[in-house]
Amino acid sequence: MSEPVIVARGLTKRYRNATVVDAISFEVARGEIFGLLGPNGAGKTTTILMMLGLTEVTAGEVLVLGKDPVRAPLEVKRRVGYLPDSVGFYDQLTAFENLSYTARLMGIGHAERTARIEDALRRVRLHEVMDKRVGTFSRGMRQRLGLAEILMKRAEIAILDEPTSGLDPQATHEFLDMIEGLKRDGVTVLLSSHLLDQVQRVCDRVALFHAGRIALIGTVPQLAQQVLGGGYLVDLDVEAPAGVDLVHVLGAVPGVISVDRVGQFRYRLAAARDVRPDAARAAVSAGGALTRLSVEEASLDAIYTRYFQSQAASGGARDAA
């Protein structure tokens, strides 16, 4: 991992008596796409606002590009682009005028302004409508305009809060492509979302927020390892001869972490790698009749669901005690 551009240590935000963000720590390396994941109200947006110095930090610290956003907010905000959740623009102004206003706020000179804005709008494919009022824009177009603002800013870090919520599948697909384009430009992307398949598609690493804490952090396979016990799920349908305990047999296959018997003939293996050949060989050599064999990579969806199920279970137990 190269030098970190965002470092949070014990970052905490409390409102009167509610702790919204509870002593979280993480690092984001330059050039990676980092996903903040979690249900609504888990503290993702508050964390983002603290990184931008838009809300005060109660305790702990966060450094963005080596600067404290509370002490040096202008420096941080000059180099970081932010696309808020359901971004708004001035409806009576055109797309170009909206960006021109923010460009002037950034202090970009007149000559450079037009070129930068047009270039950014071309990249998000809003070039043809740049002289139309934003009031006529669809939600997807507004999101893209927000992205154009970050491009125009030439931000080193792009913070995107729920950028794809409420977009149709086509618009979402396009938007995710554009996020990957940012990464190719060397921009570090921090993406907050609760749409898991999208996060899984573009993010290098994710942090799973739960009730103000980071419950899990790492790459998707790492999380799968932690939550599901393995990065791969192998399903086998095997009719076993009497007297053979297939759970035991399959459990002995190298790489298999756990074996569940999920149906009369169905076994589900959690494994660190794709163990299909070995598992099939083991089942057949034990005398079983193998009828189906499949593998799936652990999805974030499965990790997420499993994690919150187990949390609910242990939380319930804790409440009862």
Binding site for another protein (CB under 8 A): 45-46, 49, 52, 54-55, 70-75, 77-78, 80-84, 86-92, 101-102, 104-107, 146, 149
CB-nearer residue toward another protein: 89 or 232 = 89
Find the helix or strand (DSSP H, E) in which 61 lies. Answer: strand 59-64
DSSP class of residue 94 equals: B
- Across 21-47, b (16+ Cβ under 10 Å) vs e yields bbbbebbbebbbbbbbbbeeebbbbbb
CB-nearer residue toward another protein: 78 or 306 = 78
- Least distance to another protein from the beta carbon of 69, Å? 11
CB-nearer residue toward another protein: 175 or 267 = 175
Q: Which value, to the nearest 10 degrees, does the dihedral of the CA atoms of residues 212, 213, 219, 224 take? A: -100
- 34 three-state secondary structure: strand
- Least distance to another protein from the beta carbon of 8, Å? 18
SS (H, E, C) 132-167: CEHHHCCHHHHHHHHHHHHHHHCCCEEEEECCCCCC
- Least distance to another protein from the beta carbon of 30, Å? 20
CB-nearer residue toward another protein: 96 or 267 = 96
- Least distance to another protein from the beta carbon of 1, Å? 27
CB-nearer residue toward another protein: 57 or 271 = 57
Q: Which residues, in sequence order, are CB contacts of 170 under 8 Å at separation 6+?
A: none
CB-nearer residue toward another protein: 71 or 318 = 71
Alpha helix segments (H runs only) across 185-289: 196-202, 220-227, 246-251, 276-285
Alpha helix segments (H runs only) across the chain: 44-51, 73-79, 95-106, 110-123, 139-153, 169-184, 196-202, 220-227, 246-251, 276-285, 300-320
Q: Are 37 and 30 contacting, i.e. CB atoms less than 8 angstroms apart?
A: no
**Cα-Cα-Cα-Cα dihedral sign, residues 16, 21, 25, 30:** negative
Q: Which residues, in sequence order, are CB contacts of 293 under 8 Å at separation 6+?
A: 234, 235, 236, 237, 276, 279, 280
- Least distance to another protein from the beta carbon of 217, Å? 24
CB-nearer residue toward another protein: 73 or 218 = 73
- Least distance to another protein from the beta carbon of 318, Å? 30
- Least distance to another protein from the beta carbon of 128, Å? 23
CB-nearer residue toward another protein: 158 or 246 = 158
- Least distance to another protein from the beta carbon of 186, Å? 21
